[in-house]
Amino acid sequence: MGFSSNLQSKAAHEALLCRQDAELRLLDTMRRCLANKVKCDREYAVAITSVALQGQKLERAEDLVGSLVAQAWKNMLEELDNTARLIKHNADSLESKSLDKLNSLYAEKRRARKQYQEEHNRIVAQFTHFTEDVARKKTEYQKYLELYKLMRSRFEEHYIKSGRGGRKLDDVRDKYQKACRKLHLTHNEYVLLLCEAAEYERDFRTVLLPGLLDHQEAVQEAFIISWRTVLEEVAQYTSLCSEKFRDAQSRVETSLEAIKPNQEYKDFTEKNKTAPASPVLFTFDNSLVEDTSGKLLPSQLTVDNLTIEWLRAKLVQLESSVKEVQEKQASHSSHVDLANNKNTHVDMLTRVDHGRRELEELRCREREMQHQVEVIKSALSELGCEEVPPGCDLSIDSSFVDNHTNMGTPNTEQQQGGERSSSTFTLKRQHQQRLVEILRKPFRRLSAPSSPILPPRSAGEGREEEKNTSQTTDDEKVCGGGADDDDYGDRDDAAEITLIPITPDSHSTSNSSSIDGGYTVMSLSAHRPLVDEEWFHGVLPREEVVRLLTHEGDFLVRETTRNDECQTVLSVCWGGHKHFIVQTTAEGHFRFEGPAFPTIQELILHQYQSGLPVTGRSGAVLRKPILRERWELNNDDVVLLDKIGRGNFGDVYKAHLKTGKKEVAVKTCRMTLPDEHKKKFLQEGRILKQYDHPNIVKLIGICVQKQPIMIVMELVPGGSLLTFLRNHAGSLTQKQLLGMCRDAAAGMRYLESKNCIHRDLAARNCLVGYENIVKISDFGMSREEEEYIVSDGMKQIPIKWTAPEALNFGKYTSLCDVWSYGVLAWEIFSHGGTPYSGLSNSKAREKIDTGYRMPAPEGTPDEMYRLMLRCWEYEPENRPHFDQIFLVVDTLYGAHR
């Protein structure tokens, strides 16, 4: 049918997944329908048997001996009883054979869909990994190329100025040789990576992706064969022998004969047909080698004394890997015999095709590595028996020497057109020989300085010949030798570059400043701590910072911790988001690339007033300070009292605010958690801050000025609703229970109007306040979307509270919360009972899929239980929305005495 040639695009892949989901839903509908038919057929058989027994009970039967009418009646009743037994037999067979096969088919199809999606994601992720590696290696190449150019220009400059050897010239030469080595090694790594990426890209288009799609096509067709077999059995067991049923059966069989596996996906394939994936060309960027004096050539390995040992080691490594792959291929080939395998069973087909695809992947991997082996061998063979050339030889020609030795020659000599004197020629010759001798000396590694920033030199030392030469990529914004707070780069590289801070001539100490254009006026106090500045945001996580900085020039200051060291970071929105670590000089002052200041406030004010870029490379200019939001509280304003609980991210405390002595509840986040978890922790605060409803727990603020990060909320004195129900089971009236259901419905109606999906609605996540008012809490899993698709697995999902469509397909809407509300109402009327008691999560899920629903707890009003059942409708569209739920519960509450 052409899966491999027509369905390679991302859109076709998504369409195939949607088709598989639709088939799963059809299978599920068929299962439930057949289960109901078995039940009805058995009840019908029992009714017919009862009728037959009733007809056989005749008074004074002996008076009818010899009667043909009585004998005919008796025969009719016997046939009626036989018919009942036949119907019951067919129902039993339908359940034990066809329905079981349908259940197995459903489970196999779900597993096959998951395997296909995981396999597709894996090979696409590997292709993406190669693409990112190529881009990253190219960026690294550009970095070392810049370093190489800089070191070469320095070497040439010192050579011309000094005219002879010396320690300083030796140091410059060593740095240049080291930069040259790194450039050449990176060049070779880039060439090999391009070889590997190109091989994988071709295999991805021609072998891996088509192979996966061919296998999926075979699996889909095998499912159709099994599906047709099950339907044929169903038709057989539901067949009756009357003329009318034979006619109907004939029509069913005719329609079943029309099911052709090789035609099933014809219309689908034509509808979603796309062109095969276009090849992605991995080519060498020739601009990278334009300034390398011809030493480095595009797409060619460089063999010299800098790279020869690395190339030989790499060759040995690759040849060893090729041998291992070949051994694995031989092992796989002995276990896979596709040609003689005619079994169409789904499990067998899956195992065979999996082995075949593993074999194909091994062959692809062998070709990728073999290509690299050939490239390296070819490069080494070209060297032959010749001496390995020096990698750092400048190969200075006479024009280079002429240009630099004539720099001091008066213009009159050129105008006179005289020939060069013999002394000038001798001087040039000496320069050239000296240069060659210097470059031929062995490499010497310099030890790294103790600090990447040196103290300013005294006035007597004169002007420095070297400037700040820290080289970084765009993603590593190094400020005066420091690194971005998330990306630290190569420390060896930084150690080899001398970094000299620029001493400021003067700096401002005014208390306030402003920039033309109406931007915010910044205040400054030499005695005020940094934590009191409104533009200082404490330990606010990086993700939250990015959310606050929205316009070019927006900036704020925060703190971060790396390797147990606290660092102050300036975050700026400028062509994206850039983060600069504030550097500390030997005198204890603070700086970026420019002047140093006694305090961080003065440093930030200088950058803001002057309009100068934070670093020359980034070009980032400070335009508008972003002040703390009103709900960002100071940690010192919160006094923790008693520990009252424990959450996923840390402990929960009872506390009070210094301003007003108001009692509050405080959730804390453990300091050792990674930034990703801190982001999830603050997500609850970000959601709650915009909500204001009596049945939603109220946010007071967050504390991010220092560790630990805290979320401050109103203190709800009754604690967890689940614990409250269990502790007061004997004293709660039916009206009070209805009131709790009404409060929860009111809160959820408000959330639904805000397009907020809670995803974890349960009694344990509700709180009880004064007068038994219920408040929705714990928004850690919530999402502010009309529809939310889970794509990272189903970990930590409350199975017994979660709707079937969310469990089966990861699709969440507000109607999933409606299902959970039904379970919450059941918890309330069972006084904190455990849903589906005695059943495991998987067993409860199976019973729900077959139509089972929990019985009403004792004392539940009939109208309330009917509402629970409506909340538990299998199809989401059949469930009520929360405004309807609130109306029903409010009416019941008002009518209850």
Encode pLDDT of 238-258 as tens digits: 877 756 556 656 766 776 776
Burial class from Cβ neighbours inside 10 Å (0-12, 13-18, 19+) for residue 720 reads buried
Q: What is the mean pLDDT of residues 123-152?
A: 92
Examine the domain organization and report whether 733 and 607 are in the same domain. Answer: no
Q: Token pair for residue 154? A: 């320095």
Q: Are 452 and 501 in contact (CB under 8 A)?
A: no
Q: Is residue 465 part of a domain?
A: no
Encode pLDDT of 561-616 as tens digits: 765 677 899 999 998 888 898 999 988 899 998 899 999 999 999 999 999 999 88
State yes or no: pLDDT of 438 exceeds 50: no
> CA–CA separation, 790 vs 802, rounded Å?
13
> CA–CA separation, 79 vs 35, rounded Å?
27
Examine the domain organization and report whether 98 and 229 are in the same domain. Answer: yes
State yes or no: pLDDT of 61 exceeds 70: yes
Conformation bin of residue 599: beta by default, left when phi > 0, alpha when psi is -120 to 50: beta
State yes or no: pLDDT of 623 exceeds 60: yes
Q: Are 724 and 747 in contact (CB under 8 A)?
A: no
CA distances from 887 to 183, 536, 727, 881 (A): 73, 48, 29, 10
CB neighbours of residue 301 within 10 Å: 22
Q: Of 353, 484, 760, 817, which residue is the catalytic one?
A: 760
Encode pLDDT of 773-804 as tens digits: 999 988 766 555 555 555 444 446 889 999 99
pLDDT on residue 84:
83
H helices present in 242-307, as ranges: 243-257, 261-264, 266-271
pLDDT on residue 662:
80
CATH number of the domain that 35 lies in? 1.20.1270.60
Examine the domain organization and report whether 731 and 614 are in the same domain. Answer: no
Peptide bond into 708 cis (omega under 30): yes
Domain boundary among 628, 650, 668: 628
Q: What is the mean pLDDT of residues 630-635?
A: 78
Helix and strand numbers (H, E) in the chain are: 25, 18
pLDDT on residue 60:
76
Examine the domain organization and report whether 205 and 60 are in the same domain. Answer: yes
Contacts of 749 (CB under 8 A, 6+ apart): 882, 883, 885, 886
> CA–CA separation, 264 vs 501, rounded Å?
73
pLDDT on residue 517:
38
Q: If you search the block for the tokens 């002394």, which residue do you land on?
A: 423
Q: Token pair for residue 277? A: 């994936």
State yes or no: pLDDT of 423 exceeds 60: no
SS3 472: coil
The kind and range of the H/E element at 652 are strand 651-657
Q: Is residue 370 part of a domain?
A: no
CATH number of the domain that 572 lies in? 3.30.505.10
Q: Percentage helix, strand, coil, to 5, in the chain?
A: 55, 10, 35
Mapping DSSP onto H, E and C, the string for 65-88 reads CCCHHHHHHHHHHHHHHHHHHHHH
Encode pLDDT of 91-117 as tens digits: 898 889 889 999 999 999 999 999 999
Q: How confident is the model at residue 833 (pLDDT cuts 50, 70, 90)?
A: very high
State yes or no: pLDDT of 770 exceeds 60: yes
Q: Which percentage of the chain shows pLDDT scores above 70?
A: 76
Domain boundary among 628, 659, 684: 628
Q: Is residue 748 part of a domain?
A: yes
Binding residues for ATP: 644-652, 667
State yes or no: pLDDT of 284 exceeds 50: yes
Starting at the edge strand that comes first in sequence, how are the strands of the sheet with 577-581 ordered? 577-581, 565-573, 554-562, 624-625
CATH number of the domain that 873 lies in? 1.10.510.10
pLDDT on residue 434:
46
Q: If you search the block for the tokens 């239980």, which residue do you land on?
A: 865
> CA–CA separation, 807 vs 846, rounded Å?
11
Please, what is the average pLDDT of the chain?
77
Q: If you search the block for the tokens 């079943």, which residue do you land on?
A: 256
Encode pLDDT of 329-385 as tens digits: 887 776 665 444 545 566 666 666 777 778 888 888 888 888 888 888 887 766 544
Closest CA to 722 of 818, 815, 814, 823: 823
Encode pLDDT of 445-481 as tens digits: 333 333 332 333 333 333 333 333 333 333 333 333 3
Q: Is residue 78 part of a domain?
A: yes
Q: Are 653 and 644 in contact (CB under 8 A)?
A: yes
Contacts of 248 (CB under 8 A, 6+ apart): none
Mapping DSSP onto H, E and C, the string for 655-705 reads EEECCCCCEEEEEECCCCCCHHHHHHHHHHHHHHCCCCCCCECCEEEEECC
Q: Is residue 480 part of a domain?
A: no
DSSP state of 607: H
Q: Are 792 and 836 in contact (CB under 8 A)?
A: no
891: containing domain: 718-897
> CA–CA separation, 51 vs 60, rounded Å?
20
Select the more confidently predicted residue: 846 or 280: 846
Q: Is residue 691 part of a domain?
A: no
Which range is least confidently modeled, 75-79, 414-418, 545-549, 643-647? 414-418
pLDDT on residue 825:
96
Examine the domain organization and report whether 245 and 105 are in the same domain. Answer: yes
Which range is least confidently modeled, 202-216, 746-760, 782-796? 782-796
pLDDT on residue 156:
84
Domain boundary among 611, 628, 645: 628
Select the more confidently predicted residue: 647 or 144: 144
Select the more confidently predicted residue: 192 or 783: 192
Examine the domain organization and report whether 623 and 768 are in the same domain. Answer: no
760 is catalytic: yes
Burial class from Cβ neighbours inside 10 Å (0-12, 13-18, 19+) for residue 820 reads buried
> CA–CA separation, 632 vs 648, rounded Å?
22
> CA–CA separation, 359 vs 369, rounded Å?
16
Closest CA to 498 of 145, 142, 147: 147
Q: Are 574 and 490 in contact (CB under 8 A)?
A: no
Q: Can you say whether the dihedral through the CA atoms of 638, 643, 646, 651 is positive or negative?
A: positive
Q: Token pair for residue 61? A: 């039967």
Q: How confident is the model at residue 415 (pLDDT cuts 50, 70, 90)?
A: very low
Binding residues: 644-652, 667
Examine the domain organization and report whether 613 and 747 are in the same domain. Answer: no
Closest CA to 38 of 99, 84, 101, 83: 99
The kind and range of the H/E element at 640 are strand 638-646
Crossing angle of the two packed helices 346-383 and 167-203, in degrees rounded to 10: 140
Strand bridging mode 590-591 / 583-584: antiparallel
* pTM (global) more than 0.85: no
Select the more confidently predicted residue: 261 or 131: 131
Q: Token pair for residue 452? A: 């990447």
Examine the domain organization and report whether 615 and 728 are in the same domain. Answer: no
Examine the domain organization and report whether 83 and 190 are in the same domain. Answer: yes
Q: Is residue 483 part of a domain?
A: no
The dihedral over CA atoms of 735, 740, 743, 748, expressed in degrees to the nearest 10, equals -130
pLDDT on residue 164:
60
CA 740 to the chain's CA centroid: 38
Conformation bin of residue 520: beta by default, left when phi > 0, alpha when psi is -120 to 50: beta
> CA–CA separation, 812 vs 788, rounded Å?
5
State yes or no: pLDDT of 73 exceeds 60: yes
Output Rg (C-alpha) for the chain, integer angstroms: 39
Q: Is residue 195 part of a domain?
A: yes
Mapping DSSP onto H, E and C, the string for 708-731 reads CCEEEEECCCCCEHHHHHHHCCCC
Report the domain count for the chain. 3
pLDDT on residue 398:
38
pLDDT on residue 873:
95
Q: Phi/psi at 783 (nearest 5 deg)?
A: -140, 135
